[in-house]
Structure 1
Amino acid sequence: MQWRTWVILSPPFWCAAVTTALPGSAAPVTAEITRSESSNEPSRPIESTRPWTDPTLHDPLWLKYGLNASAEYKYFHEPGRDDILGHYDSRYFTAPVNDSQRADTLTQMVRAYLNFFDDNDLETWIAHGTLLGWWWNGKILPWDWDMDTQVPDTTLAYLADHYNQTIIEYMTPGAQDKRDYLLDINPWSRQRERGQGLNIIDARFIDISTGLYIDITGISQLEVDHPDIWQCKNFHKYRLQDIYPLRRTTFEGAPARIPFAYDALLIEEYDKAALTSTSFHNHTWIPAMAEWVHDEAVSSIHVHDSHEAEQYD
């Protein structure tokens, strides 16, 4: 496997400190102010007799990165909200792919992702449904349309500063065809609280030929009274002792890491049945194959097995 990276020119403005002059005083003002829709300044009434203080003067997101929390906008966009269209990045979507192409795309993409992070000594681990797929057989669940990974907020900030808008070129093993992926860090990843809920996904690793992606979310320590509790913007909370030390493993044949208490986390998120039920989403678990098989194909597998058994009677 070979890969190399190159960085798109003209990186987003928020990767560096804002250099435009900002007001130097937070003193209340009473002058009437209007703004255009493209302005970064917060909205305020055109006519007001009450003193008004610009909140961005005290907002570190604005002062350092030019992000106005009161004007949060959605960064990542999808072409739809259903189970199919909701799993593509709009910038690279042309048409939904078939099941075979989706499975191959996701498999190669997660291998490229895991190898890139491992080769660059960047901390990440698989999470949510992707972790559940690992628990069963170390593979992507066949009905999944995307994958989920997590990173600590320190790694997230490092990615934003050093790898944002990086194109990863990946050569698939055997076939040796080149695939390109975009590592795109959401500017609102700097805002570690949920905000308006428009940017709970902090970054994406996107297959630019189809628009399919890996969701990357950061976890942060937000509760002052509970420093051992970390959480993402979607209110998933974790005890650090359940995450660390990370366990080394493989996923889809690539080096991967998983949370220390992976089984407890899966049971808490999905219930114990997720680790024992052998029928789900029109698929059946076949122990002899260690695979989830679509129900339409299960009967043919059983017939084939019965014929083999008859040969040895």
Structure 2
Amino acid sequence: MKSSLYPPVSLPNLLLAIVLVVTSFVLLSATIHRSSYLPSVPSVEPPPERAWPMVWASYSNEPPEPKYFQEAGNTLEMSHYDIRFFQGVIPYSQHREVLQHLIRSYLSIMASLKMETWIAHGTLLGWWWNGRIMPWDYDLDVQVSLHTMEHMAKQFNQTLHEWRYTTDEGGEGVHEIKKTYLLDVNPNYSEMKRRQGMNVIDARWVDVDTGMFVDITALAERNPVLEPGIWSCKNFHQYRTHNIWPLKETRFEGVKAKVPLDHERILVAEYGEKSLVLTEWEG
């Protein structure tokens, strides 16, 4: 009898081999089955901002979130015009004057209406440096408490406000200019969560001649039980009560204004320590 080329197979080894073969087959079948339902993912640019509600809805049970405020476009410049009043891009040489009267009118009229508000974000950084808007800014940012936002919504939503000022530009001598601004409150302002990020701006102060605007966001204690004294907006900027109040009275662009009490700490947290040192931005 010839000797076998293979060692004798014991029953336990045979059973183990069968189990391994069956397991490998099941895993391979599952992989083929799963991959057959995965579409190929091409390398493409991220969808524009307004497509994100649909993308979000495809991965969650939430329906797409309608965006209340609509801008004239998706570029940095065009995103700072309200599409309802957009008449064309303001030349760089003129846009600062438009922003100046936007913030002057807002701060002055809010004070006359006894509504507490303060400047924030990049606008606050401009105040810290020289009490004026940064030359490269496209937008203006202010904040209010949720209580003040509720008052805005109930008493002044969709109201038009007149602002008059004098100028001697244009070679016509001193003459008066009349401007009109719209206070528009987002109906989603009371939503405590960010959701899909389409309504993080709670209200706007809009120049009806140009479409440029001031962004107004509300701070609220969003979790007063577990995080008392922590205030935030829907864009995840967080502050402690003593960082904001009592507000400090000052001036900005020549009119009375208010800023948070701990403004330097807030600016460093948002923009880094270099923001209070560097004197140039992108050259």
On whether the aligned pair clears a TM of 0.5, the verdict is yes
Structure 2 matches for 1:90-105, cutoff 5 A?
90-105=83-98
The structure whose Rg is larger is 2
Structure-1 residue corresponding to 2:130? 137
Secondary structure of residue in 2 paired with 1:136: helix
The separation in 2 between residues aligned to 1:250 and 1:192, in whole angstroms, is: 32
Structure-2 residue corresponding to 1:206? 206
1:227: Cα distance to partner?
1.0
**What RMSD in Å do the two structures reach over aligned CA positions?**
1.2
Q: Percent identity of the aligned residues?
A: 43
Secondary structure of residue in 2 paired with 1:116: helix
The separation in 1 between residues aligned to 2:78 and 2:64, in whole angstroms, is: 27
The separation in 2 between residues aligned to 1:266 and 1:169, in whole angstroms, is: 33
Structure-2 residue corresponding to 1:233? 234
Structure-1 residue corresponding to 2:144? 151
1:192: Cα distance to partner?
2.3
Structure-2 residue corresponding to 1:122? 115
TM-score by length of 2: 0.74
1:265: Cα distance to partner?
0.3
Structure-1 residue corresponding to 2:194? 194
1:281: Cα distance to partner?
3.1
1:58-106 Cα deviation digits (max 9, x unpaired): xxxxxxxxxxx85631000011111110110000112101012211100
Secondary structure of residue in 2 paired with 1:215: strand
Task: Check the 8 A contact 1:143/1:281 in 2, yes or no.
Answer: no
Secondary structure of residue in 1 paired with 2:148: helix
1:195: Cα distance to partner?
2.1
Structure-2 residue corresponding to 1:272? 273
The separation in 2 between residues aligned to 1:82 and 1:276, in whole angstroms, is: 29
Structure 2 matches for 1:1-313, cutoff 5 A?
72-174=65-167, 175-223=175-223, 224-282=225-283
TM-score by length of 1: 0.67
Segment drifting more, 167-176 vs 157-166: 167-176
Q: List structure 1 runs of 4+ shifted beyond 3 angstroms.
A: 69-72
Q: Which runs of 5+ in 1 are unaligned?
A: 1-68, 283-313
The separation in 2 between residues aligned to 1:274 and 1:134, in whole angstroms, is: 12
State the aligned residue count. 214
The separation in 1 between residues aligned to 2:257 and 2:279, in whole angstroms, is: 25
Segment drifting more, 97-106 vs 127-136: 97-106
The separation in 2 between residues aligned to 1:256 and 1:193, in whole angstroms, is: 29
- Change in 2 beyond 3 A, CA 1:82/1:71: closer
Q: Which runs of 5+ in 2 are unaligned?
A: 1-61, 168-174
The AA in structure 2 aligned to 1:115 is: S
The separation in 1 between residues aligned to 2:193 and 2:150, in whole angstroms, is: 14
The AA in structure 2 aligned to 1:239 is: R
- Change in 2 beyond 3 A, CA 1:191/1:70: farther
Secondary structure of residue in 2 paired with 1:158: helix
